[in-house]
Chain A
Amino acid sequence: MIVPLPQLLAVSAGLFAIGLFGALTRKNAIGILMSIELILNSANLNLVAFNRIWGEPSGLGQVMALFVIGTAAGGAVVGLALILTIFRHRQTISADEIKLLKG
């Protein structure tokens, strides 16, 4: 079957909004990381959907999504490493207690 495009895009918009809300509000740094993964997934969903509807023959949309997954994996690894280091130094991973950027 062919998935109805607007509905699919609506799902992706919902994922994005929920992810954005999480990224803006979660106190826990790992929670923020998970929210960001949600946002990336919503973008991926869009890419794949558009690729399917327009039928780009080389599969550019899917390739882009693959790259995003790969990059997200890298980001998650580095992010978690940072979080671990911060936790080791400060015994907290609450984002609003980390104010190193405060001028």
Chain B
Amino acid sequence: MFAMSPGNPSIGPLDLAARAAFYGVACATLIGAAITVTARNLFRAALGLALALFGVAVLYLFLEAEFLAVSQLLIYVGAILTLIIFGVMLTAQIASPTQPRFNRQAGISLALALAVGLGLGWIFLTSGWPSPSPKEPPPAPVPLSALGRSLISIYLLPFELLSILLLGTLVGAIVIARKEKDPE
């Protein structure tokens, strides 16, 4: 049910709890993101990223996209984040107090980011989203079987292209990052 108007009469206690949970997860996600970009310690930043990614996964659950939530956990939190932490470890400059966190364009960047965020929020909150009439029931969530079927039917070509892309990045990353032979 759309909560477009605050005076919706059908809000029950369960709804309230769920809504509280949603706001909580949303806040955790944003806090994790903030830690990611501001932490002086890069390892701590990675943990903040983990929090944010985890929060997004929970938001997917709120949207009844279970498969995507699981994928988010597996790929992002499980794989990409691990990779990033490896990178952090390998580059060894995890936290040096002498180094500033931000570069010289921090001020203007902050202004720009604030403008973008506020602008987007303003647009999102004020746009009159087209909504079905309250009498109609809300659309059912996409079942997992339909998602799987569309992945191997109408979206087969992009799916295969993605696999080729991943293979290419695999090979490319190995080629780029391998130890170069000694010139001698």
Residue positions of A touching B, CB distance < 8 A = 1-22, 24-28, 30-31, 33-35, 37-38, 41, 44-45, 48-49, 51-60, 62-63, 65-67, 69-78, 80-85, 87, 92-96
Contact = CB atoms under 8 A, between A and B. Distances in A.
The 6 tightest CB contacts between A and B, nearest first, are A55-B139, A17-B117, A22-B37, A21-B113, A13-B120, A24-B109
B65 to A, nearest CB: 5
B142 A77 contact: no
Per DSSP, chain B at the interface is helix
Interface residues of B, number: 92
A49 B63 contact: yes
A10 B124 contact: yes
Residue picked from B36, B37, B138, B146, most chain A C-beta under 10 Å = B37
Given A6-B129, A44-B56, A57-B142, A11 B29 contact: yes
Contacts, number: 262
Contacts of A71: 162, 165
A90 to B, nearest CB: 11
A38 B3 CA distance: 27
Interface in B17-46: 18-19, 22-23, 26, 29-30, 33-34, 36-38, 42, 45-46
Contacts of B18: 1
B177 A63 contact: no
B52 A41 contact: yes
B120 A84 contact: no
Nearest to B95: A28
B84 A76 contact: yes
B120 A59 contact: no
A75 B59 CA distance: 24
